[in-house]
Amino acid sequence: MKLLDEFKAFAMKGNVVDMAVGIIIGAAFGKIVSSIVSDIIMPPLGMLIGGVNFTDLKLDINPNAAKEVWWNYGNFIQVCFDFLIVALAVFLVIKAINAAKKKKEEAPAAPPAPTKEETLLTEIRDLLKK
């Protein structure tokens, strides 16, 4: 029972929940980026290099055997492009977040409102000047 309580306390911490949300959103974002790569970027790129579809590129590494053994290097190329684009997208998002944080830190904070004592002392000083 103690182990269950410890696990429950661990799972309910804010960082764990935030991490879980990040993983779920990251997985969905990965699908979007994969679609952008395979459906938007790769067709024109394949057309530029002679209509080659990278995912269909493969090599039979055992041509003399009754059962073919394929080396799917085209799929590997496609996955590498997916990774590079996801990495670039994550880099740009992190860079934008860091720039926003930096601007927030650089912005001068408004001076705090004077306390009642400071206001009273200011009034006394002004009366003494008169």
**Other C-beta atoms lying within 10 Å of the C-beta of residue 13:** 10
Per the structure, how many domains does the chain have?
1
In a domain, 125, yes or no: no
CATH code at 31?
A: 1.10.1200.120
54, with CB counted inside 10 A (0-12, 13-18, 19+), is buried
In a domain, 111, yes or no: no
pLDDT, position 125: 92
In a domain, 63, yes or no: yes
Q: What is the pTM of this model?
A: 0.50
Tell me if 68 sits within 8 A of 62, measured CB to CB. Answer: yes
Q: What is the pLDDT along the chain (130 residues), one digit of tens a residue?
A: 788 888 877 777 767 777 888 889 888 887 887 788 778 877 787 778 776 667 788 888 888 877 888 888 888 887 887 788 778 877 888 898 889 888 877 767 778 888 999 998 999 999 888 8
In a domain, 42, yes or no: yes
pLDDT, position 107: 67
What is the domain extent for residue 18?
8-106
In a domain, 120, yes or no: no
